[in-house]
Structure 1
Amino acid sequence: MSTERIIAKPLPCRRVGAGEPHHFFGYYNKTNWDRSGRYLLAQRVPMADADLTPDLVAEIGYFDLQDNDRFHRVGVTTAWNWQMGSQLQWLDGEAQRQLVYNCRTQDVKAFYPNLGATIFNLDTGEARQLPMPVYVVAPDSRYALCVDYRRLYVTHQTIGYSDHGTQPALDNAPADDGIHYMDLRTGQTRLVVSYADLRNFNPRASMDKAIHWVSHIEINPSSSRVLLLHRWTERVEDETCFLHRLITVNPDGSDMRLLECSDHPLPQLAEDFDPNAVGTFDYEKSEYQISHPLWQDDSNIIVWGPHAGSIHYHLYHDSPGGKVEVIGDGILTENGHMTFSPTNKRWLLSDTYPDAHTNERVLFLFDMAQGVRHDLGSYYTSPVLKKENRCDLHPRWSRDGRHVCIDSIHDSERQMYIVDVSALIDEAGQA
């Protein structure tokens, strides 16, 4: 299929809310609209940029899009970061309107001391605590998968939670920690995949001296299968030294499958290598990066990464030796945060990282049927922002597949914007 790139006609775009506080949602992998389309989840903070500390407070709440975007606060948290927020999300499998977010607790005896999650019921006003912070919640809302955010703060600071005092030394691949399954009704937890399990699964020599962790854990629509990125490195301070594998597994830890591995020589481990020579977004643009995997459906996964010697948007089938298909060859040429429309898999939504010269990020839709990329807008970001406090667009679909919500800082404020893509989709549907 031939591909082309076109600039879309100007589309309606509006900021959500007004006033001085800053607002953001965080990651791209879930919708922040509720089932009715009326309420839009957000975190509210007093500043657009700050180095995170364990005491920095974010308000948890939602905008009422049918009441002049009035913001309703339901709680506060100090367990958050600029990339993922507090993992705030709706519990779509529950009959009542409920949301969940991570928080710090007073429980020093918890498996991850003083870290947990809160479920808030909008219909009853009741809140209840969970004993672990969530990383991802199953679409059926029966369970969540959990990891140690303090470990992430050491291995991949951008998506971790800081803590007071000196971080204790971490084991490279412990057998008693990894991915935990947490029942959202009872709060019961169990370890289902340990870091030792991952290191021992089709091991590579580069793993022997490396510290291991997981990120980008995602659960398929039927809540029956899990994908994750297994990452390891000997040099956590330099992301270009991260090595990656795309793995799938059942929620109980069984039937682990290796879909892709980007193990490669690392000249950066040489003693005379200067990590300051690495650009802010060089990691995201690396030809070895496996990044931002997400389920298209129960059996297929979209991801940016290398396969068979070249890097593209790839579509993997979750099966041993499954088919791997290049998406948007020659036009989807750099890493982004991609998701398929919830109503029509013809439409792939994504973005780009900032251009090294203009600092502009592009929001776009890719038409899988026609091979056409529609650029929806370009948004400036300050080059002063660092990896840990940057503001990616992280585009998210509305549930009817007709609107897109982004986080952006192009107006010198960290705010959320809604782009109406319905006219473009309707027009393309007539073609």
Structure 2
Amino acid sequence: MTSSRVIKHPCPVHRLEPGGKHHFFGYYNKSVWDKTGSYLLANQVPMMDARLTPELEAEVGYFTLGEREAFRAVGTTRAWNWQMGCQLQWLDGEPGRKIVYNVRTGDMTARYPGFGAAIHDIDSNASTSLPLPVYVVAPNSRYALCVDYRRLYVTHETIGYGEHGGPFELPLAPSDDGIYRMDLATGAAQLLVSYADLRGFHPKASMEKAIHWVSHIEIDPASSRMLFLHRWTERVADETCFLHRLITMNPDGTAMRLLECSDHPLPQLAEDFDPAAVGTFDYEKSEYQISHPLWRDERHIIVWGPHAGSIHYHLYEDSDSGRVDVIGEGVLTENGHMTYSPVDPRWLLSDTYPDTQTNERVLFLFDTKEGLRYDIGSFYTPPDLKKENRCDLHPRWRRDGRAVCIDSVHEGERQMYVIDVSAITGA
């Protein structure tokens, strides 16, 4: 890394009032703040880490911000994990303050037996139920995209929901499961693309004996286009055996476009390979990894992944042009959770995985105009936290671009922190 292009610029850090319990949000791909900046979404639990079971409950709610900062619960859920929480998110296209999150329903006749979602109106305290668990909600709040979290628990445990008696045998590429679109007003759902469809889309020989799934589903700001990662493997126990593709399509399942594929030989599939020898973060640092894609705008996608034989932060144009630009060459040299400022795409927010020697994770802003990286904080993580219960920073923007929020365990608790970045961004 070129030191002259990296500036250490610590920013003020404020821990949200813990009230004797632990708090986290989960993923990096959505804002925790409501439209007014007065409320901040969170999950509350009594422990910093635990092996998840179907009975383990989290409180779902929000922090009120200001002089009387406090957490207020609006419900509970047993459909959550440490990495993504319960997919808690604001319904920004709805009037007032409405949220949606995943729950266990007990309805074993549902499309995904025992799982659904709840919509809660904070202003009226009214709640409604949805028949499928959500992955991501469109910015216009008209529809959500949904997947089977039990499948994810088998293929990629850190982002799935477990059940007793599992893991279960699953069909490798079924024609009746994949990405569903659910209408939030009615709960009506339709299958947009199946795993069989994906296996047949620009097929590779490595797909034939592999189990298939999707993750990192995101909808563009106009609610008119979606992206996802199609992944497959013959060995779910070893994430370095995962193969990846970045795909976009319309939210009705049409006009599917392949932007990137990292199919490559896998010597790890040899029978004598020991997946236990793979380090906690080796997968995140793989030169073949495609991860953390997110829309910058309606036409461009930022992603960490390989292209033309080299791995970088890449900006893809969602078109037939094939245009791919490197972002931060020589400065942004490792995988992270990246998002553009909601008010100024000059600023890219991201983080690193723990350093192997110090166990420190760096939080930074990257100035895409000047090519400068501002390291705004470094946060320790205990090395005994593993894949399933780790606490990534997962930085998230405040909607005015003046602050960011992270999850962290550097003080021996799992808590949420707000960091003032306005001195850098000038937002």
Once the two structures are superposed, residues 78-120 of structure 1 have per-residue CA deviations (whole angstroms, 9 ceiling, x without a partner) of 0000000000000000012100000000211001011000000
Distance in 1 of aligned mates of 2:181 and 2:413:
37
Q: Stretches of 4+ moved more than 4 A in 1?
A: none
Query: Which residue type is aligned with residue 35 of structure 1?
Result: K
Q: Which residue of 2 aligns with 1:40?
A: 40
Q: Which residue of 1 aligns with 2:31?
A: 31
Q: Which residue of 1 aligns with 2:130?
A: 130
Distance in 1 of aligned mates of 2:125 and 2:222:
29
Distance in 1 of aligned mates of 2:7 and 2:380:
17
Distance in 1 of aligned mates of 2:246 and 2:397:
24
Distance in 2 of aligned mates of 1:18 and 1:207:
46
Distance in 2 of aligned mates of 1:402 and 1:423:
8
CA positional deviation for 1:303: 0.1
CA positional deviation for 1:321: 3.6
Q: Which residue of 2 aligns with 1:160?
A: 160
Q: Which residue of 1 aligns with 2:323?
A: 323
Distance in 1 of aligned mates of 2:4 and 2:328:
9
The answer on whether the counterparts of 2:180 and 2:191 sit within 8 Å (CA) in structure 1 is yes
Distance in 1 of aligned mates of 2:17 and 2:141:
29
The answer on whether the counterparts of 2:337 and 2:394 sit within 8 Å (CA) in structure 1 is yes
Query: Which residue type is aligned with residue 158 of structure 2?
Result: T
Q: Which residue of 2 aligns with 1:144?
A: 144
CA positional deviation for 1:360: 0.3
Distance in 2 of aligned mates of 1:100 and 1:174:
28
**CA RMSD of superposed structures (Å):** 1.1
CA positional deviation for 1:3: 8.9
Once the two structures are superposed, residues 9-41 of structure 1 have per-residue CA deviations (whole angstroms, 9 ceiling, x without a partner) of 332111011332000000000000000001000
Once the two structures are superposed, residues 108-142 of structure 1 have per-residue CA deviations (whole angstroms, 9 ceiling, x without a partner) of 10010110000000111100000000000000000
Distance in 1 of aligned mates of 2:176 and 2:25:
32
CA positional deviation for 1:342: 0.1
Query: Which residue type is aligned with residue 88 of structure 2?
Result: L
Q: Which residue of 2 aligns with 1:382?
A: 382
Q: Which residue of 1 aligns with 2:68?
A: 68
Distance in 2 of aligned mates of 1:87 and 1:165:
24
Q: Secondary structure at the match of 2:198?
A: helix
2:412 is the counterpart of 1:412? yes
Query: Which residue type is aligned with residue 83 of structure 2?
Result: Q
* Structure 2 gaps, min length 5: none
Query: Which residue type is aligned with residue 119 of structure 2?
Result: I
CA positional deviation for 1:67: 4.3
Which 10-residue stretch deviates more, 95-104 or 166-175? 166-175
Distance in 2 of aligned mates of 1:123 and 1:279:
46
Distance in 2 of aligned mates of 1:136 and 1:181:
10
Taking the TM superposition and a 5 Å limit, the aligned residue runs for 1:413-428 are 413-426=413-426
The answer on whether the counterparts of 1:364 and 1:376 sit within 8 Å (CA) in structure 2 is yes
Once the two structures are superposed, residues 381-414 of structure 1 have per-residue CA deviations (whole angstroms, 9 ceiling, x without a partner) of 0000010100000000000000000000000100
The answer on whether the counterparts of 1:144 and 1:184 sit within 8 Å (CA) in structure 2 is yes
Taking the TM superposition and a 5 Å limit, the aligned residue runs for 1:276-355 are 276-355=276-355
The answer on whether the counterparts of 2:9 and 2:374 sit within 8 Å (CA) in structure 1 is no
Q: Secondary structure at the match of 2:185?
A: coil
The answer on whether the counterparts of 2:7 and 2:372 sit within 8 Å (CA) in structure 1 is no
Query: Which residue type is aligned with residue 19 of structure 2?
Result: G
The answer on whether the counterparts of 2:301 and 2:316 sit within 8 Å (CA) in structure 1 is yes
CA positional deviation for 1:416: 0.2
Query: Which residue type is aligned with residue 106 of structure 2?
Result: Q
Q: Secondary structure at the match of 2:5?
A: strand
Q: Which residue of 2 aligns with 1:258?
A: 258
Q: Which residue of 2 aligns with 1:173?
A: 173
CA positional deviation for 1:324: 0.2
TM-score w.r.t. length of structure 2? 0.98
Q: Which residue of 2 aligns with 1:51?
A: 51
CA positional deviation for 1:275: 1.4
Query: Which residue type is aligned with residue 126 of structure 1?
Result: A
Distance in 2 of aligned mates of 1:367 and 1:156:
33
Query: Which residue type is aligned with residue 62 of structure 1?
Result: Y
Q: Secondary structure at the match of 1:377?
A: strand
TM-score w.r.t. length of structure 1? 0.97
Q: Secondary structure at the match of 1:173?
A: coil
The answer on whether the counterparts of 1:64 and 1:71 sit within 8 Å (CA) in structure 2 is yes
CA positional deviation for 1:313: 0.2
Distance in 1 of aligned mates of 2:321 and 2:264:
21
Q: Which residue of 1 aligns with 2:275?
A: 275
Q: Which residue of 1 aligns with 2:195?
A: 195
The answer on whether the counterparts of 2:11 and 2:376 sit within 8 Å (CA) in structure 1 is yes
